[in-house]
Every structure is written in C-alpha cells, then in structure tokens.
Structure 1
Amino acid sequence: MLKNKNIKKTRSGFCTGKSFLSSPFFFLFPFSFLLFPLSSPLSSAILTVKQDGTGDYTIIQEAIDAAAMHDTVLVWPGTYYENLHIDTKPITLASHYLSTGEKQYIYQTIIDGSTIKNSVIVADIFPTGVTGTICGFSIQNGDARYNEINFPIDYNGVGGGILLYKANMVINNCVIKENLAYAVGGGVAAWYSIVQLSGNSICNNNSYLFGGGVWAGGGDYIEFDTLQLNSIYLNHSICGNDICKHFETVCTEFRIDTFTVAKDHGYCLYNYHSTNATPVFDYTLLVNHPVIDQFDADVYVSPLGDNDNSGLKPDEPLRNIWYAMTKINPDTNNQRTVHVMPGTYSPSTNGEIYPINARSNSCLLGEDMNSCILDAEQSWFHYSTHSRSYALALKKLKFINGNSFINDYHTYSGSIHFNWSCYNIALQDIMIENCIGLDAGGAKILTLDWISLENIHTFNNFGGFSLRTLYTDQPIRYAIMARNCSFLNNSYYLDMYGSGGGYFCGDVYTQIDPLVSTTSGMLVCNNESRDFWGGLEHLSTFAVTGGINNITNVTVADNVNKDDLPGAYSTWENMTSRVYNSIFYGNEHPSIILSVQPPLENPGELYIDYSLIEQGLDDIWNQQNFNILHYGVNNIEGNPLFTRTGDHPYQLQANSPCINTGTPMYEEGMEPPYIKEENGKYILYTHELDTIHLPATDLAGNPRIAYGRIDMGAYEFADTTVNIMKRPPKYLGGKIKVMPNPFRHSTAIEFTLLKEGRCVVKIHNLNGHLIKTLLDTFTVPGNFNMRWHADDDYGNKIPSGHYIINVIFEGENVGSVKVRRW
C-alpha cells in the first residue's frame, strides 16, 4: 500500500541525478542487452517495496500499478506471495541485486505465485520498440493451468513463471524454479515478444506440452547472453524439456552454462515448424556443464532405486523413469530399452514426473503389466513424445489414474498422447485404467508409418474413445494392426465431455485415405458413447475408417448411446471393409452403419461373412442406400449365449451357435474366404485374397482354432475336460477330415497314421462324457476311413449340438475335431 501519497517521485536516474547509462547499475547490463535501452531515463522514478512498511509500498503489484513507463520498482528482500501483472507499460522490476550486484539478494527476494493458479508474472501489450526488465528475483510456484485473473483465455496454460505477450523483456540474474504450465513455457513463455536472457538459472519447471524451461514463439527472437551464461536444466515437457522454440523465432546459437545433457537431438532442446510441430535442426547447442551424463546402453529403473546409481544393472537401478529416459544418449541406429522393474511409479511413491517425454528409438519395457504400474495420480497424462519421433515401444506396463481434463477448450489424452505424427509405434501387453482425456480417454496415437497393437486392454476410462489410432500426413506404410485387444466399460466424462466409446481406427477424411487396418481378436463391450460432434464415428463405440479394413473375430456387445442413437460399428463411403467371424449383439439398433458424407462420389463396400448379427439385415443401416453391402448366407442371427461369468464373461457357452461356425478351413477348390495353416500359423484369406494373420490364441489364452474350425467372436470355445491339440503331432499325417460338417444323419472321418500301434477313436460331448467309441484296435501305418451315424454306443440317436472327435494313438491324444449335428 502507498504509505505517503505526497511522496515525490525522483525523475533523474535512480535518485542520483545521473542518467541511466552513468548510473552505478549499468555494469550489470552487458552490451548485448542494450538493443532496447530504457528510453527517457531522465524522467524515470524509483518506487520502493518493503514488507516492513518503510518503503513506498508493501505490495509489489500496487507499486507496478502506480509506476509510469520506464520507472523502476525496487523490491527489498522477503517472500512476496503475489501474481503480478505488468500491463502495457515497460518498467524495470528489480531486487537489490540491481543496485549492489550481490547474489544473495536473488535468493532472498522471492516472488511466490502459489496463492492462486496463474503465472507468477504476466507482462503484455508493450509499445513497439520498448523493453522492460526483470532482474534479481527468485520466481517460483506459478501454476498456469487455470486463469484466475481476468486474462484472455489464450493465456490459459502459458508461462508458469513468466508470461510475455507482445512485451519485449530483458530477464537477468533470476532463479526461475518449480513453476508449472499445462501448455507452454513452464519457466518462461515469450509469445510475440523479444526476450533477452542473461545469467539466469531456470530449473525444475514443468510444461505439459512445449518448453519445460523456456518457450518462445511468434516470429520474433530470443537471445542467450554469451558473457553471463544462463543455466537451464532438469525441466520437464514432452516437446523440449528445457527449451522449445518455434523455428520462426530467431536464435541460431544456444550457449548454455549448465544444461541437462551435453548431446541432444530434439529432446531437451526442441526447435519446431508450425506444420505438425516438425523438428528443425538449424541451430548450434554449446554446453559447458551437463547435469546428467549420458551413455549408449540400456538402463534399469525401480521405485526403490536411486538416480545416483549407474542404472546399468538390475541391482543398481535408477529411481525415475523420466531420469532414465534422459540418460540414454541419442542414437538413430540402436533402440535402447528402459527396463521398468516391478513397483508403482507415481508422484507420491518415487517422485515420478508426468508426462514422461519418450526418446526416439526407445522401448519402455516392464516385467509384467500387472506389477509394473505407472500411476499419474490424476496429475496429467502419462507418456508422450515430440513430432516425427520414431521406433517407440511400450510393453508390459499398466497405466492408471491419468487425467488431462482442464476444461472443454483443451483436448488431450488420458494416458498415452502421441498426438504428433510419428513413425513405427508398437504397444504390447498394455493396460490402461481409470484415465480421463477428452481427445482419448486412454491413448491417442498418430502415425506416418505403422502402428502395432497387441494385447491392449482399456477399462473404465472417460472422455473420448478409449483408444484412437490414426494416420496423418503423407503416410509411408499406412498400416494399423490390432490383435487380441479389449475395450470395456469406457464412457464420456461428467455426462457432457467427449464422445465416449471403445476403439477408433483411421481418419474421418476418407476421400483419399489409403490406410490399411487389420483387427483380429477384439472385445468391445459395455461402453457408452454420445454424439458430441455430429458424425457417426462418434455415435459408434467401434469405428474403423481406413481405406481397407480387415476385421475378424470381434465381439461388439452391450454398448449403449446416451441418447439411444444407433450404431455400435461404423464404416464410410470410399472404403472396403470386410468382417468375418464376429458377433454384434446387445447394442443400440441398428448396430452397424454404412455412413456417407457429402459429396457422394465413390460408394464403399462392406462384406460380412460367418458372423452373428443379432437382428440380421435389420441391424444394418445403409445410409441413402449409397454403399454396397455383401451379406453372406453363412451369417446367423439371435443370441450368441455368452457365459456372463468369471474373468471372461463374453466367452461362449457349450451350446452357443457361434461354436465351430466361423470361416472354414481350406479345402481344394474352395472359394474365399477360408483359412489356411501355413508354416505353423493360421491365415485367413479374404474375398480378394488379402490375408489376415490370426493370433495363435484368443483373449483367454485358448488356441485360436481349437477343434479344426474357428468360432465366431473374440473367444474360442475350449472344454477343459478335453485335451485340445493345437497342431497334428508326429503320429498323424496331416489333419483329421470330417465331411460333411455340420451334418444331419452321418459324417465321414478320414485320417492318416504314420506308425503302427494301438489307435482309438472316441467321440465326446462338450461336457466330456463319452458318447461313442468308433475304433479301438492295433493298426499299421496308412489311411483310415470310417463313418459315424450320429448314434451313441447303444445305438441311440444323439441330440443336435456340438461334439468332439478324438484320435488317440498309443495313449496320446494326437488330434481333435469339433463337429456339429443339426
């Protein structure tokens, strides 16, 4: 507060009658920082701030409000819990370091922004060609995630410590630490501003997106003093841990005293193009003292470890994943692995800092996804990287409690956010649970190349689709492959945010979409969606919108829409989609949509074969009848008879009509679709003879083809009372053939034995009870043919249903075939 309204402001130098250039403070400003000297120095005044009441003011902001352009606000030591706004008038804001050159004043004069959630200092809208100064403070605990001062909404999330917007500024000899911005510039953000940095220490700041320490953008320039060097280290972000600069903001040389690493390739220092944040390497980085020594090796990390350990062996692990990722030396040839040892990695347990910035050509590898847990504790999402990163892998990990929700203005993912175009991404054995993100409740992955997803499971996530995979920008191989994944109980957020839903693959702009997507073995159940965008991909909980979409053994069941709108699965015009061996049941009706988007040019085609569609053709909506539907006579309707119990409630009951009714195994002369066994793997050939490589097992670990013919849905029925053989063993020459299958009155059984010995052929029901023994004798090698007349050992006709024919040789079950009697 102003102590004496009659205090006269001295208008010459700093109370000395001298000009600024001859003042005792001039030695603190090197020549390189006189590009914009304070103008009209003879009319400037000094306003003092002292907490004991002996100065002009006790509150810094009141002194700033009272100051005129070019005045100096001189602050005495103390901790000032304020969030400052320097509005339209360049001034000098300084501690006693300015007048004495004594560094203790930097640490004793603290501006702490923790009282409200805003930047510590905001300076904006200065007159053109005039520069202000901030000198000699510790600036800490800013939190620019929200806007609790009436600033424009564009300021939200920008500049945790200092935000400059159209305000040229000299920042010198400040300690800027422990500030947070959820968008850009954890320590300093210079937006359409010329910023000159001299002798500062900028450390331990965090920006969730760009520039953990410093961010500069808008086309002006940022200058790092080459005499009084800055130290910028151990800051955190996903694009430029320490420094991030838009390429139009001029700075060709970064000469730093202390920096996080000595060698960098877009990790701690990121210079980006406006198009998809593409990195541009048109600068030089010169570092005197790196904080972290890097090496060319894999590293180990444990929540019980220590960052002072070597990290090179399991018994010498580092403590933090972010630290381990930083230790890896940039390497374009060899993928490096961060071994994540069992335990929980969270802010409260081991001081983990999220989001973790992934290096190119790196693999984050756990031991088991149930024991290696990344818990963000609702602080932000877990994992991301910068644009054009490549060879990224995540394996055997569980991600829980991520939360990127700020408001409906900003949309990010809840857990994994690869929102910039990347190359060659692989996720395997990953679980994502209880995360919140409007762009994707769990993970969003954009690729220029290909994405491989295997054994991915999302549960109870909120916001957008729980997993979104898209290609963008001039793709190279344009392939997305998903195998044995499940998406359960995901929804929109707070009844009004995000689309909800399970799995999205492709892109809504399909006119020139060359994406090839393959989905094999997927469970999409009990998800909720809502239409927040007006497009059918947001009505659907399972949307696959590539140019060519091959889908097999998908169970899409019990999904609902907030407004009872139709659609569980959608595809679009100008696409070819093929669905095999799948189940659509218990969804909003019609559950399958062939949608259109003007202008209508090229119709899409949808093939559905060997699948259960609950209401048959009535369950398919072909909008304007524009697209072409190929609906096979081999499809069935009705109830698939899920077990509804245990860890896998969407497994099939023993009497399910989906058992042994999927795509048949190849017989000579057969037209596609069919399945072949080649080199020990099962391959489904589509109508156009494209191939889908089937996983070896289903979601429960059962053989993908258990009894000679694949089932419908994500699960293969397997009776644990019967020994199911995955492959014919050495005693059997080829497969056991049963024709016809299904049958009504009788069926022929053929097989070849390679050795002599006792052979028994038995038939069991699915409960394991013996029905009939067809053969029990000593045999010689050769071909064997027999016929079963649908009877038991007593000559009684058996009821309709599924049965298993077992060939037992020398006491070993050498082959089994599942058959069905109508």
Structure 2
Amino acid sequence: LGDKVRSVYNKYLTGNIIFFYNIYTIQEKKMKRVLTFSVLFANLFANTINIPADYSIIQAGINAAEPGDTVLVDEGIYYENLQINKEITLGSYFLLDGDLSHRDATIIDGSSYNENSSPFGSCVLFLPSDNGEAISAKLTGFTIQNGQGTRVRETTDDGVITYYMGGGLMIWYTIPEITFNYIRDNGGAPDSTRAGKSQRGGGGALNNHIDVEFDEDRNGPYDRTVLTRDDEIIFSNNIFENNDSETGNTFESIGYVGEVDFSDSFFDVFSTEYEDVSEYWVVEDEATTDFTGGSGDLEAITHGVWVSPDGTDVSSTFGTEQDPFKTIDYALSRIYPTANDAITINLTEGIFSPSTTGEAFPIIMISYVNLIGQGEELTILDAEQTNTVIYFNKCIYNNISDLTITGGNSSNGGGIFMNASNPTLMHVTISENTAGENGGGMFITLSIPDLSHVMITENNSIIGGGIFLDKFSTANLNYVIISDNNADEGAGIYLTANSDPNLTHVMIVKNSSNFSGGGMYIGDNSSPILMHVTI
C-alpha cells in the first residue's frame, strides 16, 4: 500500500447483535489501532441471548447460554447475584458502540442477597466449568454495586474460620477478563459494625487456595484446576470506587501466583510516582500486579501524616500537623509506604475510639508504617470492646511507640493480634484487653517482635492472659513488666509450639491462673532464655 492509509470496517450479523472488527490503519508497513474500543472477534456460529427480550433476568440467560455465546443486557437495574461457569461473554450495550453511558446505566446490584439461603452474595461469581477447567469468561460494560461477598470456610491450623470475601466480584479458580466496568460500593451491609461485611476483598477477590471452600453443604469440593504462574487475569480499564473490607478494600488475592492486569484502571487512591496502589487497597499475596496507566481520585501521600481527635477525614484534608486526619484507618487509606520510604502516622494527645473519633477496629497495619503517640498517658487507642485493637498479618518493619492499647476484645489477641510479623514496640502500655481464647494482651504466632519498655497489665483470657506465644515465635522482651493478668493457664505468659523468647530485665508479677502457670506456662518444646528476670 506504500504510504496510503487503508481503513477496514467489516461487520457480521450474528443473532441480534452486530460484532465489529477493529479499524486499523496501515502506513509504512506499520499497523495502528485507531479505535479506542476493543475488538470483538465473533464466532459466526455463536448465539446472542438478549436480556430482557429473551429472558427477564440475567442468570436465566447465562443458564441458557453455551460456550462462546454472548449474553447481551439492555440498560436497567438487575438485582441479582450471578454465577458464571461457562466461557461466555456477558456484556451491556457497551459491546456495540463503546459508549460508556451504557456501562453507567446497566447495573448489577447484589443487595437482594439473603445470607440464610445461600453463601453466594457477590454480584458476580466466576466458577470453573463443570469439568473443573479454569475457563475465561468475559464481563464488560456494567456497573457492579452493593455486593456483600461470598461466604467461605477456611481450614487453618487453629480450626475452621468463616468469613465473606469478594463483595462485588468473586473469582474462583478461573481466569476471567473483566474490563470497562464501574465497581463501586461493594463489601458493605446496613448492619456492618466495621467498614464492610466482606472481610477480604471488598470490590473483588480471587481464591486459588485449596484450604478455602464455599460455606455450604456438599459431599466434596468443586472440580477445579489450580492456577499457575503462567496464568493471567485481565482486570483492566475498570473504575474502583468506595469498596470496603477489613483487608483488601479494592481487591484481595489468596493463593494465586500468576499476574493480575489492572492496567488503565481508576482507583480511590493511587500513587503516580510509583504507579501502584497500597496494600490497604489491594492485597496481592503471592500474585504479581500491573497498574500501568492507572490513576486515582486522590494522589497517595508518601510522607508522614498526623491524626487527631480534632481532625477531619475528607479528601481535602492534607494530613499535616496543622490539618490532621481524624482516624487512623483513614490515614492508612491515604498513604503509600515503601521499604525505602516508611511512613509515620503521628498521633496527637487524645482518645481514639469508636465513640470519640469513629475509629474502626481492628487497626489493620500494613508494612513500613509506624504509629507514634505522645506518651502512654496521653495517646490512648481504645477499641471499647468491639474488636482487637491492632492487627498485624504478614507485616514487616513497623514501629509502635508512646501510646496505650486498651479495650480490645476478640477470640485471639484482645490487644494485639500478630501473625508472621516483626514489629517493634517501645514505651507502650497494653492493658485491660480480653480474649475469649488465647492472648488477652497479645497473641503472637510465627512472629519475631521486639518489645522494649512495655507494660502488659490487667488483661484476661482463657490461655495466656498477658502474652500467648505460639509456633516458632521468638519474641525479644527488654525492660518489660507483665503484671496483674488473669487466665486459666499461663496468666503472665503462655509458651507453646517451639516458641523461644528472650527475656532480659523482665518482671512477671501478680498474675493469677486458675489452673497452672501463674507467671509462665512453658510447653511443647519451648525454651525461653531468661536474664535478670523476676517471677
């Protein structure tokens, strides 16, 4: 063609839908895409099912579809919790012309979910095919809202736990293509006591972990193909807004080692400098992510911030000492810490609690973040018996200092819950916390914390009133006082499962046990090292 430009515009009529090839221009032997709307290459023998013309609800159209078919949805609000286990395309009229107004006017709303009838409360659940194949269904051009999440059971070393995940979208051993959607206001419920009903992945979640199953009565697990590093999930050109969860407000992956492509998407908070979002919004686990071309409603803060009971949690707040945030949770949402640039959240004097500042507990820490108060008598974190006060899970390089942790109440770790983490605590008081099972003051497992000039007092639990130390944990305690704690066993400290703490200049006094180990209970091959210790 030389320097001439050729535009190719071919169309095929299949069912009631017109599919378009992309328009390309060829110049100097280079092909260039000139349409912003992506290509739909259609199988001429595939069918199109129209909603509501053919079926009044989307799920009925999905059930009737065969692999390769398209379920085309007209504008409207559809109160459904969908399940897709076929390699089909589910799309709005955005598929026809690339007009984003179709996306905004074609809404899948998950709010009609009844948790007593089914565990499947996500707006859309992607499942493997009947033979367990990890299929690639396509979802394009919808608003996804008000999903509460899918209820799952996870088998852990400590038993089975149940929680919700994937408020808007739940990906279950599949590799879908999810593009050009507006994913908003998922993960919550009217009676939520925290940010959202979903505990993992408010906007969406991905499970590839064999120990996580649906919370339903079945003879056995679904057939499935475990995803590998060679797999890729396309999650590009989407808007994520105001989705909530305890962890992974936007998205959370469990057990997946492949890539998730979030390119050209829009987020609540985005770091342009690092072209990334923080762990507060997206929990990657072992996955790799691509945020190329991303943007956000707010630019992530990469320096220290301040939080005060007199502050405000609005987008226009700068987080400076003169213009502080109101809650620690909101401060965590606005920052982007890195290994080279850790961020300190400075807390002013005052009580940070649900009743005084609206603080949501637990405070879920992320790596490379420090919490620094003004003194143990001046800065108080009080959960008011609503939950654990501070929660560490797979966190590294955290410093907590000059504050009091109190009012915590949880099954494990009333004051602090710590798993696979290594925080440093200095000049901290942990007092008047309760655990229904283990670790009234602190629950520590698979962790190596450093405690210096810490007081752990008046905490209560069944086991480990002050500290419960478990599973190869090696805590370093220097100038620590553990006093006036109560438990059935190990009122001061309970050691189990090869836990070998180092105690130097430690006082373990006035603790009360109903059965054994008033000061310390040492079991299961644990070997503490004690120097200058009073018991």
Whether the 8 Å CA contact 1:216–1:222 is kept in 2: the answer is no
Are 1:504 and 2:474 counterparts? no
1: distance between equivalents of 2:444 and 2:134? 45
- Could you say which residue in structure 1 is the equivalent of 2:82? 84
> Deviations for 1:261-284, whole angstroms, at most 9, x for unmatched residues?
64468546768675xx9xx8x978
Deviation of 1:44 (Å): 2.1
Whether the 8 Å CA contact 1:422–1:448 is kept in 2: the answer is yes
- Could you say which residue in structure 2 is the equivalent of 1:142? 147
5 Å-filtered alignment, 1:300-379, equals 300-302=307-309, 305-307=312-314, 308-314=316-322, 316-328=323-335, 330=337, 332=340, 336-340=344-348, 342=350, 346=354, 355-358=363-366, 360-365=368-373
Deviation of 1:66 (Å): 1.9
Are 1:219 and 2:189 counterparts? no
- Could you say which residue in structure 2 is the equivalent of 1:57? 55
Deviation of 1:46 (Å): 2.2
Whether the 8 Å CA contact 1:134–1:170 is kept in 2: the answer is yes
Alpha carbons of structure 1 residues 219 and 327: separation in structure 2 relative to 1, 3 Å: closer
Name the amino acid aligned to 1:457: S
Give SS of 1:444's match.
strand
- Could you say which residue in structure 1 is the equivalent of 2:210? none
Find 1:455's aligned residue among 404, 429, 454. 429
Alpha carbons of structure 1 residues 198 and 296: separation in structure 2 relative to 1, 3 Å: closer
1: distance between equivalents of 2:72 and 2:291? 37
Find 1:47's aligned residue among 31, 42, 49. 49
Find 1:299's aligned residue among 301, 306, 309. 306
2: distance between equivalents of 1:460 and 1:216? 30
Whether the 8 Å CA contact 1:469–1:505 is kept in 2: the answer is yes
- Could you say which residue in structure 1 is the equivalent of 2:4? none
2: distance between equivalents of 1:130 and 1:447? 36
- Could you say which residue in structure 1 is the equivalent of 2:156? none
Give SS of 1:422's match.
coil
Find 1:233's aligned residue among 242, 260, 268. 268
Structure having greater relative contact order (Cα 8 Å, sep ≥ 6):
2
Deviation of 1:434 (Å): 4.5
2: distance between equivalents of 1:96 and 1:433? 52
Give SS of 2:68's match.
coil
- Could you say which residue in structure 1 is the equivalent of 2:126? 123
Give SS of 2:61's match.
helix
Give SS of 2:165's match.
coil
Percent identity between matched residues is 20
TM-score (norm 1): 0.48
- Could you say which residue in structure 1 is the equivalent of 2:482? 522
Alpha carbons of structure 1 residues 554 and 187: separation in structure 2 relative to 1, 3 Å: same
Name the amino acid aligned to 2:518: A
Are 1:186 and 2:202 counterparts? yes
> Deviations for 1:299-344, whole angstroms, at most 9, x for unmatched residues?
3444652521333244x33344334345556474676343346465
Give SS of 1:43's match.
coil
Alpha carbons of structure 1 residues 163 and 301: separation in structure 2 relative to 1, 3 Å: same
Whether the 8 Å CA contact 1:528–1:541 is kept in 2: the answer is no
1: distance between equivalents of 2:91 and 2:173? 21
Could you list the runs of 5+ residues in structure 2 that have no partner in the other structure? Answer: 1-11, 24-33, 116-120, 154-159, 188-196, 208-226
Give SS of 2:149's match.
coil
2: distance between equivalents of 1:546 and 1:208? 31
Deviation of 1:174 (Å): 0.9
Deviation of 1:164 (Å): 1.8
1: distance between equivalents of 2:324 and 2:400? 25
- Could you say which residue in structure 1 is the equivalent of 2:458? 487
Deviation of 1:543 (Å): 1.8
Name the amino acid aligned to 1:467: G
Name the amino acid aligned to 2:183: I
Find 1:554's aligned residue among 508, 513, 529. 508
Find 2:66's aligned residue among 65, 68, 76. 68
2: distance between equivalents of 1:146 and 1:266? 25
Deviation of 1:169 (Å): 1.8
- Could you say which residue in structure 1 is the equivalent of 2:137? 132
Find 1:422's aligned residue among 366, 383, 396. 396
Whether the 8 Å CA contact 1:398–1:432 is kept in 2: the answer is yes
1: distance between equivalents of 2:247 and 2:352? 24
Alpha carbons of structure 1 residues 28 and 134: separation in structure 2 relative to 1, 3 Å: farther
2: distance between equivalents of 1:362 and 1:67? 52
> Deviations for 1:607-632, whole angstroms, at most 9, x for unmatched residues?
xxxxxxxxxxxxxxxxxxxxxxxxxx
5 Å-filtered alignment, 1:588-737, equals 595=523, 597=525, 690-691=531-532
Deviation of 1:427 (Å): 4.2
5 Å-filtered alignment, 1:531-570, equals 542-544=493-495, 546-550=500-504, 552-560=506-514, 565-570=515-520
Name the amino acid aligned to 1:121: V
TM-score (norm 2): 0.71
1: distance between equivalents of 2:313 and 2:423? 37
- Number of equivalenced pairs: 462
> Deviations for 1:397-416, whole angstroms, at most 9, x for unmatched residues?
3233443xxxxxxxxxx231
